[in-house]
Structure 1
Amino acid sequence: MDDAAGAGGLTVGAAASHVGVTVRTLHHWDAIGLVRPSGRSAGGYRLYSAGDVARIHRVLIYRELGLSLDDIGELLDAPTADMTVPLRQQRAQLVDRISRLRAMVDAVDRMIEAANSGILLSPEEQVAIFGQRWEPSSVAGARDRWGDTAQWTQFAERAAGMTPEDWQQVADNITTLENDLAAAKRAGVRPGSAEANALAERHRASIGVYFDCTLSMHVCLGRSSAADPGFLAYYDAIEPGLVSWLRDIIDANARDRGIDPDSATWS
């Protein structure tokens, strides 16, 4: 038998069991000259000496590091002075891989936190960026309402990569947009006009920072905002009647682009 005990070392079967590989693997490594048993039993069985087994262990270590069998063979047979070169190269690759994996873990952690909290800012940071009228609790309310939707998932993915500076830019853009909306309403800009449609599209784009907002979704958001006491109070503080006018320009813009506001759905 090929795995019979040998007096001068371990047979293929015994060596395979000892190091945790298959007999077929050792046969292959023998055939390509990677690890060849150095002895034979009286019955002609191949026997692995202690040195052969140590070489097998080195192969396993190098293979775990990601080296090819060809590279492992060159490494094992290289002069002692040269063997650190490929090892140092492999170490550098492993350090780089560990760094990338850690970055991936951090990114996943941020996505989990963003999915749970919405905005990766402290309440104090939120107020500092979005203003004294901002209610940090509104984010939790939005999560409770929309947390199981595709749009919240998309928002969490985007929020996970945003820095306080990114949020400050978002807040500044919203302030500019709100001021322009208020100025247009005061100036009597008519819903459906080119200027009103451009403002409606800017408003839709501001929502697009968080998730992809279709024209139909925009209409639905305009209606829900007009019916929400919190939004009414917020926009009235900027310009009385602004939220109703905003809803009107959103509807007109959607109609001009082929969407019937009366039958618009969240799609």
Structure 2
Amino acid sequence: MNQSLVRTFGMRTILVLVFAFLYIPIAVLVALSFNEGGLPTAWSGLSLKWYVSLASNSAILSAALNTLIVALVSTAIATLLGTLLAIGVEMRRQYGKGLEALIFAPMIIPDIVLAIALLSFFSMLNLTMGLHTIILAHVVFNLAFVCSVVRARLKSFDWSIVEASADLGASAVTPFRRVTLPVIAPAGSAGALLAFTLSVDEFIIAFFTAGAGRASTTLPMQIYAMIRFGITPEINALATIVMAVSITALTLSQRLNRGMTGQ
């Protein structure tokens, strides 16, 4: 009994230490974003002035708009293509491990390798770099994640319903609209939220495929440019906002996933 208590206490202690290691720096960052003073080592009072300062910073606002455009457009395209890919793969279950690896390669390949590959591909096509190339790159990156989420939902789907509707004379669109789409809608929404979160936070691929100029600078790229001159409370405030958006999207995605599995 004593050994069991000691083991339980030890596991809980390790868990607390791990969570402290992970989240104390984040908590400090959030707290310093409300610090009235500019020094990160001295608390001088609670203030929202750094958030107000962000609202008047044209470079940050422009980067935030670019990020929103990239995230929304790439999420829409990746959700559509990823959902169709998941349906196609699950309907044709006779595929090898090679196809499986090919579909999920963007999830496994290091970001730096994928970024260099996309940069080389766009250069080979003589494409002018800009927001459009970042969007295409993020679609490639996010498509596998959406496909993975939707496929998890389709694992328990009874495809005999679709076959029965075809035998009864229904067109290919009718069973998809009335049966398949309602089933995969929560998964598609969860995949879209995940893709949006990944697109908002992604830096390396965007950095390599953005080209020159502020017209294609995203928010993570802007943060990187700012921290080269030191960490300021303004950057802390910006990082807090980005983190809040990411956590909100991930929380909604997880809730949708729980709803799909009935948990």
TM-score bracket, shorter-length normalisation: under 0.3
Larger radius of gyration: 1
TM-score w.r.t. structure 1 length?
Answer: 0.22
- Whichever structure has more helix as a proportion of its residues is 2
